[in-house]
């Protein structure tokens, strides 16, 4: 991909305009709580922006177009599943989570299942989030190398610097501002491109004439099992992710948290559709290209030069903003769950800098990891990520929210440990069926359901 001067200038202006609010937001950050939660004063727009800024990343755009180029409509599962998950999260989980007054999912589980639940929740969450960072990092690396013809090391260095500029100073406030700006960029470029590609394909009649109904026009183009896994992993993973829950904790009240989360879900659902259409158009018009280049190449080639530059900047910000938001979630757990809770550190300034440098360290580790996975499928890592988070968190958290006090601490702890263990060993035991999400959830229930029955019988006999 060769950018013209006009494209390059519009891209640089857009990138700078996105980064400045985040740096400015850092002036208000004085403590680790300010960094992680923005003083618990976020309105609906900021809550939604924080969520969108993270979830609408490289997977929702470039990765969705990549799979759309390869298989068509089944690529929509990423934003469809995550959007529905956010809506359910806003309607049923947001209020009890925000009313708890906590900062991390681990703290919420510790209160109900004891102190040993903290490390298990952190392990499940951080591992899952890291794989999601890998997905966006994969997109970012390909974009950097393809656009600027630089080495992998240079691309990785640029990514670390931009991620630091996005959240290093302002934390969740920076992430929320960048998320709202990112959303405007996506609607102004990717949606415009999707509309144009749809017309160039001849609308629905042209698409049906160009592509076989199966697998191209089916949500289950990779099979029913794979489609259900894709939906379930996104739905469950969203509810189990520290970064999205952290946005709820940052809201000024529980009503705002719920409204912001539902709004984010409604916006996220359609975001994948234009990327799918663009991917399918590029398959029909340019079958020789690499699938991961479908969306950026379309924006460079088919949009007006100035808008194409803005679109490329939007893709970069989508990928890098997602990395920044997810890394912020890990940084918060490291400072809060390890240094504050486990090691007893009380200095708010030191905790703040631990959060900041944890974000950078996680980003560097993801760069190194991706160097060894350059040819992998972006959405693979996201689905794996969501499944791993859900394995140790989703059902225990759900039982706490909907049946508070029903699960004994030991049963909840055992359910978490069993789910994580299965998620770790399943791919090695059954390499031909590496989907460990449903077996992990089944192992959760092996402990949660008997625990609930035991509590009900105990109450009945009391």
Taking only the tens place, the pLDDT of each residue in 442-460 is 999 999 999 999 999 988 8
- What's the pLDDT tens digit per position in 212-248? 999 999 999 988 888 988 898 889 989 998 888 989 9
CB of 393 closer than 8 Å to CB of 121: yes
| Rounded alpha-carbon distances, angstroms, from residue 181 to 184, 250, 312, 393 | 5, 19, 14, 31
User: Please, are residues 315 and 147 in contact by the beta-carbon 8 Å criterion?
Assistant: no
More confident site: 321 or 85: 85
How far is Cα of residue 427 from the mean position of the Cα atoms in its chain? 23
pTM given for the model: 0.86
Q: How far is CA 374 from CA 141, 143, 178, 247, in A?
A: 8, 12, 27, 31
Q: Which CATH number fits domain 5-387: 1.20.1730.10, 1.10.760.10, 3.10.150.10, 1.20.120.530?
A: 1.20.1730.10
Q: Express as a percent the part of the chain with pLDDT over 90.
A: 46
Residues 6+ apart with CB under 8 A from 204: none
Up-side HSE of residue 167: CA atoms within 13 Å toward CB?
A: 42
Question: Which residues share a beta bridge with 251?
Answer: 42
* Mean per-residue pLDDT, 112-136: 88
Give Cα 277 to chain centroid, integer Å: 22
Average pLDDT, the chain: 88
Residue reference for tokens 């992430």: 175
Q: Which structure tokens are listed for 258?
A: 């719920």
Q: Is 42 helix (H, G, I), strand (E, B) or coil?
A: strand
- Tokens 């769950």 sit at which residue? 337
Residue-wise pLDDT for 313-366, tens only, equals: 888 888 887 888 888 889 888 888 888 877 788 787 888 888 888 989 999 999
Tokens of 287: 């079958």
Cβ atoms of 69 and 283 closer than 8 Å: yes
The Cα 359–Cα 364 span in angstroms is 9
Phi, psi values for residue 42, rounded to 5°:
-70, 140
Contact yes or no for 7/316 (Cβ under 8 A)? no
**Which tens digit of pLDDT belongs to each residue from 59-83?**
789 889 999 999 999 999 989 999 9
Counting Cβ atoms within 10 Å, is residue 375 exposed (0-12), middle (13-18) or buried (19+)? exposed
Copy the structure tokens of residue 276: 């799918």
Residue recorded with tokens 């390909």: 142
For tokens 């200095």, name the residue: 347
Six-digit token string for 185:
């960029």
- Measure the CA–CA gap between 305 and 248, rounded to whole angstroms: 39
Percent with pLDDT over 70 in the chain = 93
pLDDT the model gives residue 32: 65
Around 391, how many Cα atoms within 13 Å sit in the side-chain half-sphere?
32
Q: Is the pLDDT of residue 382 over 80?
A: no
Beta-carbon contacts of residue 406 (< 8 Å; ≥ 6 apart) = 399, 451, 452, 455, 456
Do 57 and 322 contact (CB within 8 A), yes or no? yes
Kindly report the number of other CB atoms within 10 A of residue 30's CB atom. 12
Contact 89, 346 (CB under 8 A): no
Tokens 């909907």 correspond to: 402
pLDDT value, residue 168: 64
SS (H, E, C) 127-146: HHHHHHHHHHHHHHHHHHHH
- Residues pairing with 42 in the sheet: 251
Between CA 16 and CA 29 the distance in angstroms is: 21
- List, for residues 160-207, the tens digit of each pLDDT value: 988 887 776 666 666 667 677 777 888 889 999 999 999 999 999 999
Q: State the DSSP string of 369-415.
A: HHTT-TTS-HHHHHHHHHHHHHHHHHHHHHHHHHSTT-S-HHHHHHH
């Amino acid at each position: 991909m060769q950018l013209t001067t006009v494209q390059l200038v519009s891209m640089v202006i857009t990138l700078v305009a996105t980064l400045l609010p985040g740096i400015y937001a850092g002036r208000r950050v004085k403590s680790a709580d300010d960094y992680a939660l923005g003083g618990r004063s976020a309105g609906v727009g900021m809550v939604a922006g924080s969520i969108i800024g993270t979830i609408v990343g490289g997977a929702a755009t470039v990765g969705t177009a990549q799979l759309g180029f390869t298989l068509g409509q089944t690529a929509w599962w990423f934003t469809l599943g995550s959007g529905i998950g956010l809506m359910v999260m806003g309607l049923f989980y947001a209020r009890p989570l925000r009313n708890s007054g906590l900062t991390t999912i681990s703290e919420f589980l510790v209160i109900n299942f004891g102190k040993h639940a903290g490390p298990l929740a952190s392990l499940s969450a951080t591992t899952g989030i890291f794989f999601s960072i890998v997905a966006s990092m994969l997109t970012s690396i390909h974009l950097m190398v393809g656009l600027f013809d630089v080495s992998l090391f240079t691309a990785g260095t640029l990514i670390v610097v931009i991620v630091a500029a996005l959240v290093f100073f302002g934390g969740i406030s920076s992430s929320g501002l960048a998320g709202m700006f990112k959303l405007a960029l996506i609607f102004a470029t990717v949606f415009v491109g999707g509309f144009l590609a749809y017309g160039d394909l001849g609308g629905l009649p042209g698409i049906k004439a160009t592509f076989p109904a199966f697998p191209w026009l089916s949500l289950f183009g990779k099979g029913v099992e794979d489609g259900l896994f894709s939906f379930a992993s996104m739905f469950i993973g969203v509810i189990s992710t520290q970064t999205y829950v952290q946005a709820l904790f940052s809201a000024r009240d529980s009503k705002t948290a719920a409204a912001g989360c539902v709004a984010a879900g409604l916006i996220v659902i359609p975001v994948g559709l234009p990327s799918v259409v663009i991917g399918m158009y590029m398959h029909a018009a340019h079958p020789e290209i690499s699938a991961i280049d479908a969306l950026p190449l379309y924006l460079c080639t088919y949009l007006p030069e100035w808008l194409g530059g803005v679109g490329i900047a939007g893709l970069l910000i989508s990928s890098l903003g997602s990395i920044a938001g997810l890394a912020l979630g890990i940084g918060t757990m490291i400072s809060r769950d390890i240094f504050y809770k486990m090691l007893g550190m009380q200095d708010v300034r030191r905790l703040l800098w631990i959060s900041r440098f944890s974000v950078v360290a996680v980003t560097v580790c993801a760069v190194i990891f991706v160097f060894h996975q350059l040819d992998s499928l972006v959405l693979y890592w996201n689905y794996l990520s969501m499944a791993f988070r859900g394995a140790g968190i989703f059902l225990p958290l759900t039982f706490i929210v909907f049946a508070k006090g029903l699960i004994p601490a030991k049963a909840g702890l055992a359910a978490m440990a069993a789910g994580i263990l299965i998620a770790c060993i399943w791919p090695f035991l059954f390499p031909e069926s590496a989907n460990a999400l449903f077996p992990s959830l089944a192992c959760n229930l092996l402990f949660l359901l008997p625990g609930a029955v035991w509590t009900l019988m105990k109450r009945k006999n009391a």
